[in-house]
């Protein structure tokens, strides 16, 4: 199985959409426990020219994540930060790099960076320095970007994330990736390429917006792990409020550095994959790049240290134009900015207002609960499984929905979670809606579950009601139940009469059961259900029938 996938991928030189699925599922199926080696070799059929290596390949993936800081104004100037605005309307003279302008650092951005550093277990540098990184591009009007290369704000942290492994994806493991540093830097403007008129249109609304660059050590070895780590970081940033981290709006940009090597040997040449704008594409892009490099090396070629872009339509990475080899950025200290000094409770001078200086301990006290802590609390409070709490937090707004339902219903949370994760989430995914767009409110779902819990309706009837509710015609669950007459028959007498009628009408089946074929009982139950149009409680019906037949 693995061999045929390899053969297909090796013999197909151009990437096709169908191959991507094979390429993506290949490694994860072959690997029993990640991060295991990707087995190559043992190919049947003809192999292309090149050595027949049986040694496993190990991929090394490192990420550089740029998160746009959620603030009112930009990092060094007082212009507004807004996603969609008329071009060049949110630009100050400093952002346009007109001569004679100077940067003035935004305190909110420093606080956001410190919060993120504390949440990722980093040590915060009390003194950090700003540098200039020089390169020429039309969307960088100054010709340099102010960043922190020598001494960033936070260093040496860690990020723990969970992912599902195993054949059926039901085993959750926790991995950790080390954070090398978190630094503050400026964003560049936006360029729109107009190839018909051979020009580029520059919009500087985004130039100068504060970014947090999170540099991770290359501890990951697959696209899946990278996607899980990015998702966890996204949740942390959204919980802290330091960034809204919406990848679709470009507030979270990920660049992946991918290389492959044999375990025990030196690290291979790495390539950088840019232009990934969703978490789904991240996993695919990295996996494609790993396979491409393995293929290249097995065919006797070499991997060039280059920058590649991910084309999501074709599902493959292509070399980027306009990137000339290895850049020399000529880093120099930013002369207009003295060192950034942060204090904590010990070094805080007396009589200073907390608004003039950034106090690390003050921020640490006010950190909200991180996602990992919230998951543990959910498990403790409601008795649900860790996998469930993972899914709850993963979907935007699902946890609040779940808690609202639990609050308004008498049903056990362990049963509610089944309804939420299996039924509701299934419907939402089917119709491609977010939790906020759900046509069924938490109140209605709670009412429905109450009806079910009290025994007013059966579980299959409940599913019918939910389907009706999904149409969002404004009817409450009770109204739908009454309209469609879905209530369970409460009257014992009526049920016994119906069972009696069925038993009398089907004497052959009764004979079969008495002979010792109990499965025919199900047919009788089915007949009762048909007569009552699904309004009989199957357990009760079975009891009555068995009592009748044993007489």
Q: Which residues bind other proteins (CB under 8 A)?
A: 71-73, 77-80, 86-94, 96, 98, 100-102, 104-110, 129, 134, 136-138, 191-195, 198-204, 321-322, 324, 328, 330, 333, 335-341, 349-352, 355-358
Q: Which is nearer to other proteins, 116 or 291 (CB)?
A: 116
Long-range contacts of 393-400 (CB under 8 A, 24+ apart): 393/235, 394/231, 394/235, 395/425, 395/435, 396/434, 396/435, 396/436, 397/434, 397/435, 397/436, 398/425, 398/435, 399/374, 400/435
Alpha carbon separation from 65 to 8, 122, 254, 282 (Å, rounded): 34, 16, 5, 12
Looking up tokens 């004497």 gives 507
Q: What CA–CA distances, in Å, run from 223 to 18, 57, 63, 317, 478?
A: 18, 15, 11, 14, 47
User: Is 61 or 109 the residue whose CB approaches other proteins more closely?
Assistant: 109
What burial class does residue 300 get, using C-beta atoms within 10 Å of its C-beta: 0-12 exposed, 13-18 middle, 19+ buried?
exposed
Q: Which of 71, 145 has the CB closer to other proteins?
A: 71
Nearer to other proteins, 96 or 549 (CB): 96
CB of 227 to other proteins, least distance (A): 31
User: Residue 108 Cβ, how far from other proteins at the closest point, in Å?
Assistant: 4
Q: Regarding beta strands 127-128 and 252-261, do their DSSP bridges make them parallel or antiparallel, or are they unpaired?
A: unpaired
Which residue, 1 or 102, is less far from other proteins as judged by CB? 102
Taking the complex as a whole, the smallest distance from the CB of residue 45 to other proteins amounts, in Å, to 44
CA 25 remoteness from chain centre? 18
Distance of CA 483 to the CA centre of its chain: 41
Between 42 and 150, CB nearer to other proteins: 150
Smallest distance, Å, CB 97 to other proteins? Answer: 11
Tokens of 541: 């019906």
d(CA 358, CA 344): 8
Q: Which residues face 194 on adjacent strands?
A: 199
CA–CA gap between residue 370 and residue 158 (Å, rounded) = 14
Q: Decide whether 118 or 342 has the Cβ nearer to other proteins.
A: 342
Q: How far is the CB of 117 from other proteins (least distance, A)?
A: 17
Q: How many residues does the chain have?
A: 551
Nearer to other proteins, 202 or 220 (CB): 202
Q: Looking at beta carbons only, is 336 or 522 nearer to other proteins?
A: 336
Q: Least distance to other proteins from the beta carbon of 273, Å?
A: 20
Closer residue to other proteins (CB): 138 or 304: 138
CB of 150 to other proteins, least distance (A): 8
The phi and psi torsions of 277 (rounded to 5 degrees) equal -115, 25
Considering the complex, state which of residue 72 and residue 305 has its C-beta at the smaller distance from other proteins: 72
Q: How far is the CB of 84 from other proteins (least distance, A)?
A: 14
Q: How far is the CB of 214 from other proteins (least distance, A)?
A: 21
For 299, the enclosing helix (H) or strand (E) is none
Nearest to 138 by CA among 97, 104, 103, 101: 97
Which of 108, 262 has the CB closer to other proteins?
Answer: 108
Cα separation, 353 vs 106, whole angstroms: 17
Task: Compute the distance between CA of residue 61 and CA of residue 63 in angstroms, rounded to an integer.
Answer: 7
Q: How far is CA 353 from the centre of its chain?
A: 40
Least distance to other proteins from the beta carbon of 160, Å?
31
Residue 327 backbone phi and psi in degrees, to 5? -80, 145
CB of 262 to other proteins, least distance (A): 36
CA distance 89 to 112: 25
Question: Minimal distance in Å, beta carbon 145 to other proteins?
Answer: 15
Residues 6+ apart with CB under 8 A from 337: 103, 105, 130, 146
Tell me how far, at minimum, the Cβ of 79 lies from other proteins, in Å: 4
CB nearer to other proteins: pick between 99 and 167: 99
Q: Is 166 left (phi over 0), alpha (psi -120 to 50) or beta?
A: left
């Amino acid at each position: 199985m693995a061999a045929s996938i390899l053969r297909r991928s090796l013999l197909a030189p151009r990437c096709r959409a169908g191959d991507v699925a094979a390429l993506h599922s290949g490694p994860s199926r072959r690997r029993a426990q990640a991060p295991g080696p990707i087995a190559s070799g043992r190919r049947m059929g003809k192999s292309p020219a090149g050595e027949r290596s049986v040694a496993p390949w190990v991929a090394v993936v490192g990420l550089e994540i740029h998160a746009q800081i959620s603030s009112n104004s930009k990092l060094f100037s007082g212009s507004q930060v807004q996603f969609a605005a008329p071009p060049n309307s949110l630009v100050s003279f400093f952002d346009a790099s007109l001569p004679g302008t100077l940067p003035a650092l935004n305190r909110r951005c420093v606080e956001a960076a410190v919060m993120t550093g504390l949440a990722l277990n980093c040590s915060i540098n009390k003194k950090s320095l700003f540098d200039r990184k020089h390169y020429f591009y039309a969307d960088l009007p100054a010709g340099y970007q102010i960043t922190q290369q020598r001494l960033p704000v936070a260093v040496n942290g860690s990020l723990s994330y969970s992912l599902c492994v195993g054949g059926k994806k039901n085993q959750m493991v926790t991995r950790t990736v080390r954070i090398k540093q978190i630094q503050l830097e400026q964003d560049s403007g936006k360029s729109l390429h107009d190839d018909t008129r051979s020009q580029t249109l520059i919009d500087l609304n985004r130039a100068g917006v504060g970014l947090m660059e999170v540099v991770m050590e290359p501890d990951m070895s697959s696209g899946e792990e990278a996607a899980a780590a990015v998702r966890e970081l996204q949740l942390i940033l959204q919980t802290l409020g330091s960034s809204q981290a919406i990848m679709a709006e470009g507030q979270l940009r990920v660049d992946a550095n991918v290389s492959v090597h044999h375990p025990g040997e030196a690290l291979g040449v790495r390539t950088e994959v840019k232009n990934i704008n969703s978490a789904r594409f991240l996993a695919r892009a990295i996996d494609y790049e790993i396979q491409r490099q393995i293929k290249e090396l097995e065919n006797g070629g070499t991997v060039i240290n280059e920058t590649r872009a991910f084309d999501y339509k074709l599902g493959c990475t292509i070399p980027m134009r306009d990137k000339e080899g290895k850049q020399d950025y000529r880093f120099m200290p930013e002369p207009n900015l003295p060192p950034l000094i942060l204090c904590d409770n010990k070094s805080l001078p007396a009589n200073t207002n907390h608004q003039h200086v950034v106090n690390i301990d003050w921020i640490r006290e006010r950190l909200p609960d991180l996602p990992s802590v919230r998951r543990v609390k959910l498990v403790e409070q409601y008795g649900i499984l860790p996998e469930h709490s993972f899914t709850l937090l993963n979907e935007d707004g699902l946890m609040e929905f779940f808690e609202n339902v639990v609050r308004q219903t008498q049903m056990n949370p362990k049963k509610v979670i089944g309804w939420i994760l299996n039924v509701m989430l299934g419907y939402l995914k089917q119709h491609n809606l977010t939790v906020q767009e759900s046509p069924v409110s938490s109140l209605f779902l709670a009412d429905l579950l109450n009806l079910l819990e009290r025994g007013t309706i059966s579980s299959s009837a409940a599913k019918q009601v939910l389907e009706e509710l999904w149409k969002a015609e404004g009817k409450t669950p009770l109204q739908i139940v009454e309209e469609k007459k879905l209530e369970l028959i409460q009257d014992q007498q009526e049920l016994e009469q119906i069972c009696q009628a069925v038993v009398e009408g089907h004497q052959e089946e009764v004979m079969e059961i008495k002979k010792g074929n109990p499965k025919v009982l199900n047919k009788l139950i089915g007949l009762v259900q048909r007569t009552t149009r699904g309004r009989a409680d199957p357990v009760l019906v079975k009891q009555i029938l068995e009592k009748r037949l044993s007489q």
